[in-house]
């Protein structure tokens, strides 16, 4: 089974792992200075055992593209953890899966600002479609939440 396909199948162990059992995972999150939902996402990560350094910037699009996120696939903010880019409001179980399996990709992205996603207000109204950010710059859907 390919690494991408294995990455797509989430395991209960990762989804339910307690963040309190491990050292905090270091993350650097770049966000627009005026964006409040990015602070909500950082708080969500902290509640799940991450240590997040938030860096306001007006160069978010440039940072995303330089990290390999294809145009039109950008999320609300760009985060770097352990050599991977995580763009947007990606759920923590997907981030943990990425960090555990260490696939040969640049990272993952949840484009836009989906209502009800981690850090966003409102009720979830649709599946969250998360894409890989391959090193060749051609994003592929790998996971859709219910």
How many folded domains does the chain comprise?
Answer: 1
Task: Tell me the whole-structure pTM to 2 decimals.
Answer: 0.79
**Residue at 94 is within a domain:** yes
- The pLDDT of 37-49, averaged and rounded, is 94
pLDDT digits (tens, 9 = 90+) for 4-42: 434 443 333 334 444 445 688 999 999 999 888 899 999
Query: Is 42 inside a domain boundary?
Result: yes
17 in any annotated domain: no
- pLDDT tens track for 99-141: 999 999 999 999 999 999 999 988 988 889 999 998 875 666 5
Q: Quote the CA–CA distance of 78 and 1 in Å, as a whole number.
A: 29
Containing structural domain, residue 100: 3-8+23-144
Q: Are 30 and 57 in contact (CB under 8 A)?
A: yes
Q: Work out the number of other CB atoms within 10 angstroms of the CB of residue 9.
A: 10
In a domain, 14, yes or no: no
DSSP state at residue 100: H
Instruction: Give the DSSP H/E element, type plus range, for residue 66.
Output: helix 60-66
pLDDT tens column, 61-76: 999 999 999 999 999 9
CA atoms within 13 A on the CB side of 73: 24
């Amino acid at each position: 089974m390919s690494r991408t396909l294995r990455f797509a199948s989430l395991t209960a162990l990762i989804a339910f792992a307690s963040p309190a059992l491990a050292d905090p995972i270091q993350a650097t999150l770049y966000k627009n200075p005026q964006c409040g939902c990015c602070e909500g996402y950082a708080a969500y990560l902290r509640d799940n055992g991450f240590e997040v350094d938030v860096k306001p910037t007006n160069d978010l699009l440039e940072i995303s593209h330089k990290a390999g996120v294809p145009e039109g696939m950008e999320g609300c903010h760009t985060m770097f953890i352990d050599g991977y880019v995580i763009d947007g409001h990606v759920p923590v179980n997907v981030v943990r899966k990425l960090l555990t399996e260490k696939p040969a990709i640049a990272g993952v992205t949840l484009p836009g600002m989906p209502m009800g996603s981690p850090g966003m207000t409102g009720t979830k109204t649709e599946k969250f479609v998360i894409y890989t950010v391959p090193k060749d710059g051609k994003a592929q859907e790998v996971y859709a939440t219910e």
